[in-house]
A and B are shown apart, each in its own frame.
Chain A
Amino acid sequence: MNLLKKVPEVVVTIVLIALALTVVLPMLIPMFFVFKTRLEFAYDPWGWPTTIRWDNFIGAWNAIRIDQGLINTLYVSLGAILCTVPPAAMAGYIFARYRSRVTEIIFYLVLAGYFVPALMVLIPLYRLSARMGLANTLPGLFLPMAAFGIPFWTIIYRSFFRGLPEELAEAARIDGAGHLDTFFRVMLPLAKPATFLAGLLVFIGAWSDYLLSLIMLSDQRLFTMQLRVAQFLNNYGVSNMPRYAAGVVISALPTIILYILGHRWILKGTLAGALKG
């Protein structure tokens, strides 16, 4: 009897695993290609590779200058973290702990920014950065990115700081700590989980950006990884698919590794944002 009861569970579990496989398997497609020569690929694209050779990785690396791409993207991602997280933490702290009519109004102004799509303001953004000398520079990419990330992380920090017990700030004040000390010495260290999460997700977001990079960068040397990957197909086409696949693997790997390491945090952070949003 017990066994019969288990039947629906087994069936549903199998269906769920099958659906999960449809998520994972397409990501493994490039693995069929990357170890092949062009000839092997043309002859049998889906066969098992006969030998493991790394030529395609080296070829891709040189063809689209992946080293340059990685440095640029890393620079953009770190710039985005530095410009997004501290302003958001500071503002979130004020909105959580210094509530008054004025700060509430400012908070709603910031909150409204969460709903503005960057797509809408592309033209003025581009013209503005041209006037500020930021067009075709990497800061021209991560400064607007930060502006569009700050509202979300301010909301997260605000709810995080509101969740911390009031007594901590009180204790710090009794010890004679001023506003600044209370924030930097007591509250900010306690917000480490939020800071860690913000760093991780801002990094992944900046690493993955396509649209802003597309409009802001015209100098090939400044191209980010995503632009290089997208360009690869245009420049070399399907004629060198194994090498293309290798480039794709290199550029996808960092986000996948970060996700595997931090998926608990990422899921939590995504939900926190969505539940607030």
Chain B
Amino acid sequence: MQATQIRPRRPRDWRGIVFQAVMLLPAIAFLAIFMYYPIEETFRLSLMRSTGLGDEVYVGFQNYARLFRDAEFRAGFVNVLLWAFWSVVIQIPYSFFVAYALCLYRNHFTRPLRAIFFLANVLPSAITAMLGQFVFAPRYGVIATLAQRFKWTWLQRIDFLGDPDLAFWSIFALATWAYTGFGIVYLMANIEQIPRDIEEAAKLDGANRWQYAWHVVLPMVAYPIRILAILSIVGSLKLFDLPYLMTRGGPGYATTTLGIILYQQGFVNWQYGRAAAIGVVIFLLSLVFTVALFSMQRREGELQ
């Protein structure tokens, strides 16, 4: 066993140190150039007035102050938080239900379903958005066509993507369709880890399947559910593809997100400083939730 201690010992193993440095260099170089440096730049730019033309002028926290006075930014901020809230409240219980049911009844029909539930997760978002168009579009869309066939005129009149009160929910439904597969697969993997004897013990105590789910399984997957909640929240903070592709954030500000506003400020209005400030806001919010994730992991003692 002593011989396998490859770590540098006295006298220093210079070859080993050079080897380590060379092996780490490519990864470090990529991260330093394309991640750490841009992060530093984002913070710096967020304090500047910068339009890509002319000089950058230091303006302190003006960009931030301006953002929080801006109705569009506030709308995006609220949308993103609402999105996070509803994904936790709707998508996670749904994932748990499906995952538990799939684990409970294993038969020829349910076994292949795990892979099917995950399928929508691997679709490119441009494709998901297009499928969403096919479902929600007026006249030829799936819903409109069904409404026409069954003469449900009230349904025919609904404009799923054009109505400011509905657009958010239409896109949310599409995202639920596209992304809950991950939660299902993740919770299944955790439910499968519960030892068999616990289930037997619950049965002996006379618990039925739903009592078992509520009183035994749910507490045992409380930790993965919290992780899932944090992943959903962080995912909501950087939401961009689907709302941008479906509605460009409209109608009005109904479906705008921090990501869409960042993109528009940076690449349409060329307001680098303001866009960077939005980036910092997204980063800080993600950081808060990530720290929460790690402190939970510590408490549960599951960090390797």
Contacts and interface: CB of A to CB of B under 8 A. Distances in A.
Interface residues of B, number: 92
B185 A13 contact: no
A121 B118 CA distance: 29
Contact of B27 (A90, A167, A179): A90
Contact of B28 (A9, A106, A169, A183): A106
Interface in A176-231: 178-180, 183, 204, 207-211, 214-215, 225-227, 229-230
A154 B26 CA distance: 12
Given A13-B109, A270-B185, A26 B131 contact: yes
Nearest to B125: A210
Given A229-B126, A267-B114, A119 B6 contact: no
A150 B27 contact: yes
B209 A8 contact: yes
B111 to A, nearest CB: 11
A151 B259 CA distance: 22
A270 B109 contact: no
Contacts of B124: 207-210, 225-226, 229, 251-252, 255
Given A23-B116, A119-B259, A128 B241 contact: no
B131 A180 contact: no
A143 B109 contact: no
Interface in A111-142: 113, 115-117, 119-128
Contact of B34 (A86, A144, A183, A251): A144
Contact of A147 (B35, B41, B137): B35
A53 interface: no
Interface residues of A, number: 103
B290 A122 contact: no
A267 B182 CA distance: 9
Interface in B184-230: 185-186, 189, 209, 227
A120 B186 contact: no
B181 interface: yes
A146 interface: yes
Interface string B222-245: 000001000100100110110001
B159 to A, nearest CB: 14
A263 B30 CA distance: 29
B42 interface: yes
A123 B279 contact: yes
Given A148-B35, A179-B19, A255 B123 contact: yes
Interface in B10-25: 15-16, 19-20, 23-24
A252 B120 CA distance: 11
Contact of A9 (B6, B107, B115, B125): B107
Tell me the dominant secondary structure on chain A's binding face.
helix
A229 B102 CA distance: 35
Contacts of A259: 119, 122
Contact of B117 (A23, A120, A148, A207): A23
B24 A90 contact: yes
Given A83-B30, A91-B27, A23 B133 contact: no
A86 B286 CA distance: 28
Most A-side CB within 10 Å, residue of B26, B127, B227: B127
A274 B181 CA distance: 13
Contacts of B34: 125, 128, 143-144, 146-148
A44 to B, nearest CB: 10
B272 interface: yes
A277 B131 CA distance: 30
Contacts of A110: 27-28, 31
B81 interface: no
Contact of B134 (A29, A271, A275): A29
A35 interface: no
B39 A120 contact: yes
B130 A248 contact: yes
Contacts of B53: none
A24 B117 CA distance: 8
A8 to B, nearest CB: 7
Interface in B90-132: 98, 101-102, 104-105, 107, 109-110, 113-127, 129-131
Contacts of A13: 105, 107, 109-110
A34 to B, nearest CB: 12
B186 A271 contact: yes
Interface stretch (B65-73, B150-158, B260-268): B260-268
A259 B127 CA distance: 15
Contacts of B3: 170, 173-174
B227 A274 contact: yes
B119 A98 contact: no
Given A99-B7, A127-B52, A275-B189, 18 more contacts: A13-B107, A15-B101, A16-B110, A17-B109, A90-B23, A93-B23, A103-B24, A119-B279, A120-B283, A122-B263, A123-B266, A126-B267, A128-B37, A143-B30, A179-B16, A238-B140, A251-B127, A252-B127
List 7 A-B pairs, minimum CB-CB distance, nearest first. A147-B34, A124-B41, A208-B124, A121-B38, A87-B26, A124-B38, A91-B27
18 contacts: A16-B98, A19-B98, A23-B117, A29-B142, A30-B131, A83-B30, A115-B290, A116-B39, A116-B286, A121-B42, A124-B37, A124-B38, A125-B38, A127-B272, A144-B34, A178-B15, A208-B124, A226-B125
